[in-house]
Amino acid sequence: MSNTINNNNNKPTVASSTVTRDLRDLDKSTNNLYESIVVMSKRANQISNNIKEELHHKLSEFASSNDNLEEVFENREQIEISKHYERMPKPTLVAVQEFLENKVYFRNPNKE
């Protein structure tokens, strides 16, 4: 049985935990396993940076220069936003899924 997360905002269905992959599936589009890993790694970094920027933007709305300790612990909206981002699938899992579904554009200038 596969654990998947189905997001309603047109994002691909992504496994919620690590999945064993067949290496032969990973090098089909590049003919090189290591090149495929580099492509997936760069895509995971892009996804991670986008998520981080989005999270910082949302949390910056709650920033205040005179926060005291009680206000920090009482801000439930901020806690809920953080929990939402913690439950999201990891960027590496999203990147692998996108790569396997041919949703990642990449090129190798050395091969052109």
Q: What pLDDT, in 10s, does the model give residues 17-61?
A: 777 888 888 888 899 999 999 999 999 999 999 999 998 888 887
Predicted confidence band at 8 (pLDDT cuts at 50, 70, 90)? very low
Give the count of beta carbons closer than 10 Å to the beta carbon of residue 95: 23
**Is the Cβ–Cβ distance between 52 and 41 less than 8 Å?**
no
**Radius of gyration of the chain measured on its C-alpha atoms:** 18
Separation of alpha carbons 29 and 41, rounded Å: 15
Q: Which residues have CB under 8 Å from 17's CB, separation 6+?
A: 3
Q: Quick one: pLDDT at residue 14?
A: 77
- Cα–Cα distance for residue pair 82/72, rounded to 1 Å: 13
Instruction: Say what the pTM is.
Output: 0.73
